[in-house]
A and B are shown apart, each in its own frame.
Chain A
């Protein structure tokens, strides 16, 4: 396949051009126009790197941290940051806080729909924005770890290790949610009015990382990325990764399929791109900003990065009953272009579309990554292992 390519270049060659300040970098929105107007071969000749971006709630996210000892030593058993429980089943002062964890004694959905005003994602946002958070640790006391309680205010700078570690991010395609029942539903896809009063969707469309690399040709273990305003890495396939989805004629999966596991040092991140969020009636989460650079190694990759919003078909699922019951009957397919227009027609009814993903912020991220590469401060890495995709 690659033997027949008219254009070939390596990541090393691209990095040399980046260092020389000569790399041609465009965002995925611009690349869609370039490929459409000039064709994939010309686009591949002209463009070195395409930048993608997304800013969306990503529930499978969290922080691995090490809060440090203060003699006498402690083995953390129950650990809280700002009263949000953390997982401490690790070595003495290692812990993990997940973004959907709610503050202790949150009323949850006892008064429906619950507010879920504060959770793990908010703790991470607070830390990254420079605020101090309250650490409370209980130990059960051992011969080697006699301390039974540790309590202090800490800032991100005081945490030796604070790594954003997200088991499943950047979903390749996602369900659009509607509600076919006759009462409002509050879901992780946002509020859904009765009788298909609105349709909610969560993707950055043609800017979304894995729509631009549908077969994960360049995105793999070790790919350096924009993560939460800092530097991160793809560390493999995410949980629930599906390598064998049905695809449309352009190779775009027609179901939620590829996912990424990512990590990055929180110390270099920016709270503008890591935002604790609350979904009424559902729970807490965090909106994560991710941007993945795609090296245009040949015209085949140029073609994939030329994906347009009209090329993306997304399934519509009933979240009023079907989703919760474990039935994923696809009511219809809609293109992302239709979703962006403000309304779609399903079963002969005009339905208002509501985004959960900030397209505005997604573009900002793609453009910021573009600036980083153009200014020579961000070099591309070669993936060390491929993520399966067929």
Chain B
């Protein structure tokens, strides 16, 4: 049920090796009644985990859930900060929309400009690979 308090956000989580084996997502759902959609998950050979997920639920529960994760040593970042667009380079052609599965990049039907809604961005980096003029940039901090 959608309520006024319903909240949804795409976040990026980093797990230390000792947390990787704990059922954090299960607890998130069970203890805080949050729903999650895993957009990307990866565990490195050193057992550090990286996950991008869309977390939804009551705003109060959302905040509690985030605190719970942080208390367990999981660092949380906004995904939106990791992909940026160089406005001087973009020609608003539209090629990027071909592989933007979460529709963070979309075409404004009136102005015919490409809009970048970073709140919907999952930092999958597809756009950085296919933008013909290299206008999309991903922060390289060893996380991708």
Contacts and interface: CB of A to CB of B under 8 A. Distances in A.
B95 A190 contact: yes
Nearest to B113: A360
Contacts of B99: 191, 193
A40 interface: no
A342 B132 CA distance: 20
A145 B35 CA distance: 76
Contact of B94 (A57, A115, A280, A355): A355
A359 B112 contact: yes
A287 B93 contact: yes
B130 A190 contact: yes
A162 to B, nearest CB: 22
Contacts of A358: 91-94, 112
A175 interface: no
Q: Which of A57, A276, A279, A355 has the most CB of B within 10 A?
A: A355
Interface residues of A, number: 33
B93 A357 contact: yes
A275 B91 contact: yes
Contacts of B134: 117, 278
Nearest to A199: B98
A200 interface: yes
Interface of B, helix, strand, loop or mixed by DSSP? loop
Given A57-B132, A279-B132, A280-B130, A355 B93 contact: yes
Nearest to A357: B93
Contacts of B132: 57, 277-279, 285, 287
Contacts of B111: 360
26 contacts: A55-B91, A113-B129, A190-B95, A190-B98, A190-B130, A191-B130, A278-B134, A279-B130, A279-B132, A285-B132, A287-B91, A287-B132, A341-B109, A342-B109, A352-B97, A354-B97, A355-B93, A355-B94, A356-B94, A357-B93, A358-B112, A359-B92, A360-B91, A360-B112, A360-B113, A361-B92
